[in-house]
Amino acid sequence: MPLFELDVDQWLEKRSSFEILIDARSPHEFLYSHIKDAINLYALNDAEHKEVGTLYKSDRSLAKSLGAKYICKNLQNIIDEVYKRAKVGSAIGIYCAKGGLRSNSIGYVLSMIGYRVFRLSGGYKAYRNHVLEFLNRPLSTKFITLFGNTGCYKSKLIRALSPSIDLEAMANHLGSVFGAINGAQPSQKSFEDALFEKLITLKDEICFIEGESRRIGSLTLPKSLYEAMRSGINVEVIASLENRIS
C-alpha cells in the first residue's frame, strides 16, 4: 500500500482514524515532548542518534549510511510491535523531527507490508509551528475563571465541572503554596502541546478554568489564554479558614 504524506492540517484531520501513532524520534526527544497519543518506536536510539548527528556534520554520506544500518537493526522490533497493535491494512500515523528520513524509512517498510501509512510532512517541527500559531491567535473559547485562596476547593470544582481545563494538573504544579511537591514539571513545549490539544476540542464552548498568574512554577501560560481567562466571567470561591486548613 502507498505511503501518504500530509501537511499538518490534513494530518490532524486524519489522525482520529489512526490505529496507532508512531513517533520515530529517539527516546530522549520523545520524553521531552511529543504529539498526543503517540508511542515511541524509534528509528535510532539516543546513542545512535547522537553518533549519526555528530558524524553528519563532517560526512553526510557516511552518516546516512550508518543511520540506515541502525534503522535496519531497529526495524525488527518496530515491525513486531506494530503487528501486535494493529492489523495489516490499518491506518497508521507517523512522524519524526522535521527532515523525514526516520519516519520515511519506517513508513516505507510498513507500507510495503500492507499498512496505510500517513506521514506528517515537516514532522514534529511542523506540528509545533502549528501549535504556536494557534496559541498566538485570540482564542474563541469563553472562560468562567475561578479565583480564591489556597484550600477553598477550586481544584476540586474544576475537576467536577465540564468542560474544564485543570492547569495545575497539566503543569504538575500545585500553585504558590505547595508548588512542585508532585515531582518534575513537563517541558514548556509539552505543556503548550497539551493546552493546544485541549483547546481545539472546545472551539466556541464555554469552559471553566482556575485563575492563575502567567507563571505556573517554571512554565508560562500563553498570552492568548491568560488574556481570555481574565476577560471572561470571574468567580470568587470562598471557604472558611477552618475548612481551608482542613
Q: Which residues are catalytic?
A: 96
Residue pair 198/134 in contact by the 8 Å Cβ criterion: no
CA angle 167/122/104 to nearest 5° reads 120
Q: What is the residue-wise DSSP string for 5-65?
A: EE-HHHHHHHGGG-SEEEE-S-HHHHHH---TT-EE--SS-HHHHHHHHHHHTT-HHHHHH
Tell me, rounded to whole angstroms, the distance of Cα 113 from its chain centroid: 28
Residue pair 43/28 in contact by the 8 Å Cβ criterion: no
Tell me, rounded to whole angstroms, the distance of Cα 195 from its chain centroid: 9
Q: How many CB atoms lie within 10 A of CB 42?
A: 25
**CA neighbor of 154 nearest in space, from 226, 210, 215:** 210
Backbone angles phi, psi at 18, to 5 degrees: -75, 130
Amino acid found at 103:
S
